[in-house]
């Protein structure tokens, strides 16, 4: 989960929605205990023998997949709290 969830929630979307999502996850037994910046996560996976090829957030996928189809969503309608990482073995 993006470190901004704790440090600067507005970077992830509506602070109220971020808080609701974190609370909901905790209520169903999924407390988020790992928070990373992209650089920290990249260093971590590198230590494990992987190489990060891409690190994306939901906004990136809107631009790549939905916008070309005319299915735009506004950033304020989404939360960008998770990163989707593609890595290869070094």
* Averaged pLDDT in 10-residue chunks for the chain of 90 residues: 92 92 92 88 92 89 88 82 89
Q: What is the pLDDT, as a whole number, of residue 57? A: 87
Its pTM stands at: 0.73
> Are 86 and 54 spatial neighbours (Cβ–Cβ below 8 Å)?
yes
Q: What is the pLDDT, as a whole number, of residue 74? A: 78
Q: What is the pLDDT, as a whole number, of residue 27? A: 93
Structure tokens at 23: 């609370």
Q: What is the pLDDT, as a whole number, of residue 25? A: 92
Q: What is the pLDDT, as a whole number, of residue 73? A: 79
19: CB partners within 8 A, 6+ apart: 9
């Amino acid at each position: 989960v993006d470190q901004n969830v704790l440090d600067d929630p507005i970077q992830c979307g509506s602070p109220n929605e971020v808080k609701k999502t974190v609370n909901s996850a905790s209520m169903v037994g999924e407390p988020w205990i790992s928070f990373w910046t992209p650089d920290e996560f990249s260093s971590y996976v590198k230590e494990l023998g992987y190489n990060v090829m891409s690190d994306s957030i939901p906004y990136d996928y809107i631009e790549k997949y939905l916008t070309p189809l005319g299915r735009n969503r506004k950033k304020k309608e989404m939360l960008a709290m998770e990163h989707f990482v593609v890595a290869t073995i070094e």
